[in-house]
C-alpha cells in the first residue's frame, strides 16, 4: 500500500463523517470539504498526531465555469501551422464586456473553489483540500488565517484574481492588481485584453482610462501531437 493510500485510509477513519470525498490518484490525496466544516477539518488535520499538517504551502482560487470546454483540436487536424478559424468556445475569447462582470448562468453552485495545499513535515506527506463556495454570485468561504498565518496573502491573492471572499480574513484587499481595478482578471468571463487601457492625454495633462481598442482574435496551434503517434511516425520513417 502506497503512502497516499495509507493517508486516504487514515482520513476516512478519522474524518469520514465530515468530508464530501477523499481520492488518492497519481500518488496525491485530495479532500473535498463543505464550507461549514472547513475550519473544523483543518484544525484536525493540523493538530491530530496522525496528520500534523502544520505547513500551509499555498491557497489558490479556481473558476470551474468552463471546466472541460476547450478550443484545441487534439485528434483530426493537420500537424503544421496555426489556425485563426477556431470556433471561440471559451468565454476568454468572447467579445469584451463593458457592463456586469459577474456570472450570467451559474453552473449548479460549483463554479468557484478555494484549493489548499498542506505539508506534514513530521510524516513527510502532502494533502490537497478543495472547498467550493456555495454561492456563485457571491463566493464566500471561511478564512483559515487563524489556523495557518501564511494563508493571509494567499487568500488576498485568490480574492484579487478570482473574487473569492474569505470570511474572517483580517485584511481582505487586493494585492496584485492596481488601485481601483474593476473585475477579477482570472475569472473565465474576464476578457483576455482587459476592459480598459491607459494613456497620457497631452491636452488634459493627465492619464486617462479608455475602453480597450484591441480586437480579440483566436490564434492557437491546430493540433497537439500525441507522443505515441509521434514515435510511430518516427519509427515508420526509420524503417522506410
Q: How confident is the model at residue 191 (pLDDT cuts 50, 70, 90)?
A: confident
The reported pTM is 0.74
Average pLDDT, the chain: 82
Per-residue DSSP letters for 167-214? ET-TT---SSSPTT--S-TTSTTS-TT-SEEEEEETTTTEEEEEE--P
* Res. 100: pLDDT tops 50: no
pLDDT for the residue 106: 38
Tell me which of 199 and 86 has the higher pLDDT: 199
Nearest Cα residue to 140 out of 173, 162, 118? 162
pLDDT for the residue 98: 43
Q: What is the mean pLDDT of residues 204-211?
A: 90
Q: Report domain extents, the chain.
A: 1-65+111-183, 70-102+193-240
Query: Domain spanning 1-65+111-183: which superfamily?
Result: NADH:ubiquinone oxidoreductase Nqo5 subunit (3.30.460.80)
Which of the residue ranges 50-59, 74-83, 184-193, 223-232 has the most confident prediction, judged by mean pLDDT? 50-59
Which of the residue ranges 94-108, 160-174, 216-230 has the most confident prediction, judged by mean pLDDT? 160-174
Tell me which of 212 and 202 has the higher pLDDT: 202
pLDDT for the residue 7: 95
Amino acid at each position: 500500500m502506497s503512502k497516499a493510500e495509507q493517508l486516504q485510509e487514515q482520513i476516512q477513519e478519522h474524518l469520514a463523517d465530515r468530508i464530501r470525498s477523499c481520492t488518492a490518484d497519481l500518488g496525491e490525496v485530495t479532500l473535498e470539504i463543505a464550507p461549514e466544516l472547513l475550519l473544523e477539518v483543518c484544525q484536525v488535520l493540523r493538530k491530530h498526531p496522525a496528520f500534523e499538517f502544520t505547513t500551509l504551502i499555498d491557497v489558490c482560487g479556481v473558476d470551474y465555469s468552463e471546466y472541460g470546454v476547450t478550443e484545441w483540436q487534439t485528434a483530426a487536424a493537420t500537424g503544421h501551422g496555426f489556425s485563426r478559424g477556431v470556433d471561440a468556445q471559451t468565454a476568454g475569447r468572447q467579445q469584451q464586456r463593458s457592463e456586469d462582470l459577474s456570472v450570467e448562468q451559474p453552473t449548479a453552485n460549483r463554479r468557484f473553489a478555494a484549493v489548499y495545499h498542506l505539508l506534514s513535515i513530521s510524516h513527510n506527506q502532502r494533502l490537497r483540500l478543495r472547498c467550493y463556495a456555495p454561492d456563485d454570485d457571491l463566493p464566500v468561504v471561511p478564512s483559515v488565517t487563524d489556523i495557518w498565518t501564511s494563508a493571509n496573502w494567499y487568500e488576498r491573492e485568490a480574492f484579487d484574481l478570482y473574487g473569492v471572499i474569505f470570511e474572517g480574513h483580517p485584511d481582505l484587499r487586493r494585492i496584485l492588481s492596481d488601485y481601483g481595478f474593476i473585475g477579477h482578471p482570472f475569472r473565465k468571463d474576464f476578457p483576455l485584453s482587459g476592459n480598459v487601457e491607459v494613456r497620457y492625454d497631452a491636452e488634459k495633462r493627465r492619464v486617462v482610462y479608455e475602453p480597450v481598442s484591441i480586437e480579440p482574435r483566436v490564434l492557437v496551434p491546430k493540433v497537439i501531437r500525441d507522443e505515441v503517434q509521434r514515435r510511430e511516425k518516427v519509427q515508420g520513417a526509420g524503417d522506410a
